[in-house]
Amino acid sequence: MGRSKLLLMLLLANLLTVLFLTNGAFGEELVRGVVVSPARVVATVAQGDQLPPIRVLNGGEEPLEISVYVGRGEHRWDGSPVYLDSPAERLWGASCLKLDKDRFILGPGEEDTVLAVVGYLNGIEGGFYPVIFFEVKSPNQFQGTTTISRLAVITLLQLVDSPPADLVVTGLDIQQTEPGGRVGLFPIVSNLGKVHGSFSGYIEVAEENGTVMTRLPVQPVTVLPGCSRRVPLWWQPEELPIGTYQVSAHLAVDGQPIRAGQWAFRVVEPYQLATIRGDLVSWQPEQVTAYQPAGFTAIVHNSGTQAWRATGELMILDAAGDACASVAVESDMVPPGGSCQVAGLLPPLHPGRYTMRMSLVSDGVALLDAERTLEVLAGDAVASR
C-alpha cells in the first residue's frame, strides 16, 4: 500500500457511470453488459500507493475489447460531472496514475481486474481527481462497423498531510414560484482550498424577533477545489405575514462550520398558501315523490385561492348503504370567491329514506365531500323500508 494507509471513505455503486453512447441502442446494450466496481474511490494517498482493484465483468453474450486510460474530472454547480479527456489530460493522468494494463479482451462471462498505482505527484498540492476511462468496443458484424461505449470510474484523491478543505457560502438565492407558491432557497458553496470537501447541515429561516420558521436539511454534498455547488431547497409555508425574514446557513465540513453571511427577504403583501377548496352553500331537494324523476341542484362556493372546474358524481345510497344510482356532475371554471351551480336529474326511486353523497374534484384534487338525507314520499306519508 506504499508509505501511507489508504483511507477508503466511500465506494459507491457497482455499475459504472455511463459518459456517452454511440450507435444508439446497440451501444446501450453493450454498456449494460459490462459491470465495473467500484465506480467511485475516495482515498488519502502517497506516491506508490495502490488503489483498490477495479473489477471488470463482461456480462454480455459476445467478446469485448476494453481500452483503459486516465483523464481528469470536475463538476458543474448542480453536481453533474465534467470529464476532461484531451492529449494533455491523458498525459497528466498517465503520470499521476499508472495502470497495470491499457488493453484487454473479455469473453462472455469473463472478468479481469485493473490495478492503479499512484505515480509522480510533482506540482500537485492537496487533492487531485483522475478519472479512469474504460472504452468498450465490440465488432458489429451486420454493418461492418465498430460500436464504442465509454465509461468512467471517478477518484477523489488527496495527499497525505494535505491542508483541510476550505469551503465558504458565497451566495444564497431566494425565489418564489408564484404568489402563495413554494419558496426556493439556493445556497452556493465554493471550494477555495486545495482538497475536496463534503458539507452538510441546514438552512434556517427566522422572523425578525428570532423565532425560527423552518430548518431545511442539507444532505452531504461534495465540492472539488476551484468549483462551486448550488443546492436547491424548497419550502412551502402555510402563511407568511408581512415583514422581514432572516436566512442563515448552518453548514459544516468535517465538523467545522463553513463561513457564511446573513441573507434576508421581505414579504410586502399578505401571503397565503395556494389552496383548492369548495364549500357547499345549498342543496335541493330534500323530498321527492316516489316513482318519478326529479331534478336536483347544488350551489358550491370557491373558498380557495385558485380557480377550479368541478367534476364528480352524486351517489344515492339506500338504508343499507348500497348504491342505488349514480349521476355525473360538472361545473364551469369558477374563480376564487365565486360560486357555481351543479345540477342533474334523480332517477325514479321507491318510497323510503335515502342518503345522497356528492364528491367533487378538480384535476384530481378533492374539492368537497358532502352528504344529506333524501326522503322519497308515497302520497303524504314517508314510507319506511
The H or E element spanning position 89 is: helix 87-96
Length, in residues, of the chain: 385
CA distance 253 to 61: 46
CA distance 58 to 30: 9
Task: Tell me the one-letter amino acid at 305.
Answer: T
CA distance 278 to 297: 15
| Percent of all residues in the chain with a pLDDT value above 90, rounded to a whole number | 56
The H or E element spanning position 90 is: helix 87-96
| Percent of all residues in the chain with a pLDDT value above 70, rounded to a whole number | 86
pLDDT tens readout for residues 256-276:
999 999 999 988 877 766 678
Lowest mean pLDDT of 59-63, 198-202, 375-379, name the range: 375-379
Mean pLDDT taken over the chain: 84
Q: What is the pLDDT of residue 15?
A: 29
**Assigned C-alpha cell, 357:** 353523497
pLDDT tens readout for residues 31-77:
557 888 898 999 999 999 999 999 999 888 888 899 999 999 999 98
If pLDDT is split at 50, 70 and 90, which confidence band does 186 have?
A: very high
The H or E element spanning position 311 is: strand 308-317
**152 or 383, which is more confident?**
152
Q: What is the pLDDT of residue 274?
A: 67
The answer to whether 310 touches 330, Cβ cutoff 8 Å, is yes
**15 or 268, which is more confident?**
268
CA distance 340 to 88: 71
**Assigned C-alpha cell, 27:** 451501444
CA distance 160 to 118: 12
In the predicted structure, residue 139 carries a pLDDT above the cut 70 = no
Chain centroid, CA 375 distance in Å: 52
CA triple 194-195-196, angle to 5 deg: 135
Chain centroid, CA 231 distance in Å: 12
Q: What is the pLDDT of residue 378?
A: 78
The answer to whether 34 touches 152, Cβ cutoff 8 Å, is no
Q: What are phi and psi of 26, to 5 degrees?
A: -65, -40
Residue 253: CB partners within 8 Å, gap ≥ 6?
164, 165, 167, 197, 198, 199
Give the Å distances, CA to CA, from 347 to 206, 212, 331, 360, 383.
58, 57, 20, 20, 17
CA distance 373 to 32: 62
Lowest mean pLDDT of 23-32, 109-118, 263-272, name the range: 23-32
**DSSP per-residue codes, 213-278:** EEEEEEEEEEE-TT-EEE--EEE--SEE-SEEEEEEEEEEETTEEPB--EEEEEE-S-EE-----E
Span 355-379, average pLDDT: 87
**364 or 25, which is more confident?**
364
If pLDDT is split at 50, 70 and 90, which confidence band does 231 have?
A: very high
Q: What is the pLDDT of residue 177?
A: 74
Q: What is the pLDDT of residue 50?
A: 96
Task: Tell me the one-letter amino acid at 13.
Answer: A
In the predicted structure, residue 9 carries a pLDDT above the cut 50 = no
Span 372-384, average pLDDT: 67
If pLDDT is split at 50, 70 and 90, which confidence band does 143 have?
A: low
If pLDDT is split at 50, 70 and 90, which confidence band does 181 have?
A: confident
CA distance 105 to 94: 21
Q: What are phi and psi of 242, to 5 degrees?
A: -60, 135
Span 89-97, average pLDDT: 93
pLDDT tens readout for residues 332-361:
999 988 999 999 999 999 888 999 999 999
Residue 26: left (phi > 0), alpha (psi -120 to 50), or beta? alpha
Q: Give, as one character, the DSSP assignment of residue 338.
A: -
The answer to whether 199 touches 167, Cβ cutoff 8 Å, is yes
In the predicted structure, residue 30 carries a pLDDT above the cut 50 = no
* Domains defined for the chain, CATH in brackets: 17-159 (2.60.40.10), 167-272 (2.60.40.10), 278-382 (2.60.40.10)
In the predicted structure, residue 104 carries a pLDDT above the cut 90 = yes
Residue identified by cell 472478468 is: 111
In the predicted structure, residue 155 carries a pLDDT above the cut 90 = yes
In the predicted structure, residue 24 carries a pLDDT above the cut 90 = no
